[in-house]
Amino acid sequence: MSEKYYGILSQIGEFLEVESANSSISKYLEKNFASIEERVKAARIVLDFILYFASFRDVIPLREIIYQTLLESLNRAKNLEELNDILLIDILLRIIEIYIINSQLTDKKKIIATLSRSLLGLAPSALIINLCTIVKPIFSQSNYTNNYETKKENIEDKDDNIVKQIKLKIENWIKNLGLQQNDLKAIEDSKKELNKKVSYYAHEFKLSEKSSEFNQILMDAQDLLDITLTAISLATDNKNRDLYSQLFPS
């Protein structure tokens, strides 16, 4: 069984072409999955998942993002049942975020809605292929990394330390909500709770709710929640149409 486990890890490492991939991935698998049998199954889920990106393996920035997101997902996944969903939702969230940051359009809601309409209802493999095809021109730019980091820095440079800390707390809160695609009540509750959370952290850091910084934090938080919910809706089967209709009512 151990030989099979390390064989799968080796295939993952070869695909990602990251020298430390095997040891890093194994560390999280050993942390969250007690038995070697579970680790083998988890490693197989990871391998099957990254093979969805086989057509884009030569896009090095995308491959690096897959690896970084993979580690974040493995750190959060506590059982086999949720691992596949977490992998898919996290990578969708990451790629959509990159697309929005690099898009020339300023209406984030419109970008999210357009992507969702074009991708809704696709099986995971087709979903990833279509989304990666949409964003591949961004990754294929010779100066992609510099452009992306510059745009991120420009966004972050506008924030003072307090704003950054509040945004980080909100981001962590959204990531840890553990929303499920078929729990529409919990999703609706999270949208209502978001405003309260932003107000709570603003009070904690003594930031006035009448300030422009507070309004910007609230807008950014709502955008992040929308992107997260969009990733969840795209990662599901036909039940996602109910979630989609709540995100983008006609």
Domain boundary at 124, 155, 186, which? Answer: 155
Residue 243 lies in a domain: no
Are 37 and 141 found together in one domain? yes
Are 19 and 135 found together in one domain? yes
Report d(CA 179, CA 181) in Å as an integer: 7
pLDDT tens-place string over residues 25-74: 999 999 999 899 999 999 999 999 999 999 999 888 889 899 999 999 99
Residue 51 lies in a domain: yes
Number of domains in the chain: 2
Are 139 and 211 found together in one domain? no
pLDDT tens-place string over residues 99-158: 887 776 667 777 777 777 777 777 888 889 888 888 888 877 766 656 555 555 554 555
Report d(CA 220, CA 226) in Å as an integer: 10
What percent of the chain clears pLDDT 70, i.e. is strictly above it? 83
Are 59 and 134 found together in one domain? yes
pLDDT tens-place string over residues 176-200: 776 655 566 777 788 788 989 999 9
Other Cβ atoms closer than 10 A to 64: 15
Report d(CA 128, CA 119) in Å as an integer: 9
Domain boundary at 139, 155, 171, which? Answer: 155
Are 74 and 164 found together in one domain? no
Per the listing, tokens 């840890």 go with 176
Are 148 and 167 found together in one domain? no
Residue 42 lies in a domain: yes
Are 119 and 206 found together in one domain? no
Per the listing, tokens 């990451």 go with 94
Are 147 and 169 found together in one domain? no
Are 175 and 137 found together in one domain? no
Domain boundary at 155, 183, 207, which? Answer: 155
User: Quick one: pLDDT at residue 53?
Assistant: 94
Are 69 and 174 found together in one domain? no
Spatial CA neighbour of 209 closest among 197, 195, 199, 194: 199
Structural domain of 231:
158-236
Are 136 and 230 found together in one domain? no
